[in-house]
């Protein structure tokens, strides 16, 4: 990638947030050894997928020209109902 000043180095292209993640992840892993377990990674992916679906839905609403302010209040209701369904399916209450 060329800019008006010359080639852009790799360090100039990396966002500061990724630098912060790369620095803090090992630190939190030392403080909490469970951070590097597979179950922890799967838990983070489950939470991220739920929020990703909500953000995709909100993006679609905004793209078609509408605005939906009910997402903030509907999010806890949807999460609670999905937890209830999951526990009922496993035979727990």
**What digits encode the pLDDT tens for the residues 12-70?**
777 888 889 889 988 988 998 888 889 988 888 888 887 888 888 888 888 887 776 66
Q: 54: which residues sit within 8 A by CB, 6+ positions away? A: 71, 75
> Residue 41 falls within a domain, yes or no?
no
Please name the residue ranges forming H helices in 1-93.
10-13, 16-31, 38-63, 71-89
Looking at the structure, tell me whether residues 23 and 56 fall in a common domain: no
Question: What is the span of the domain harbouring residue 89?
Answer: 51-93
> Residue 46 falls within a domain, yes or no?
no
Give the chain's domain count: 2
Q: Is 51 exposed, middle or buried (0-12, 13-18, 19+ CB in 10 A)?
A: exposed
Q: What angle do CA 89, 90, 92 make, to 5 degrees?
A: 105
> Residue 1 falls within a domain, yes or no?
yes
pTM of the model: 0.46
> Residue 56 falls within a domain, yes or no?
yes
């Amino acid at each position: 990638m060329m800019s008006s000043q010359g080639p852009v180095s790799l360090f100039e292209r990396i966002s500061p947030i990724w630098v912060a993640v790369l620095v803090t992840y090992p630190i939190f892993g030392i403080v909490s050894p469970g951070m590097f377990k597979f179950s922890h990674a799967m838990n983070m992916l489950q939470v991220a997928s739920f929020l990703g679906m909500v953000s995709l839905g909100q993006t679609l609403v905004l793209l078609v020209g509408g605005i939906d302010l009910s997402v903030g209040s509907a999010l806890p209701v949807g999460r609670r109902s999905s937890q209830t369904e999951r526990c009922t399916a496993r035979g727990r209450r």
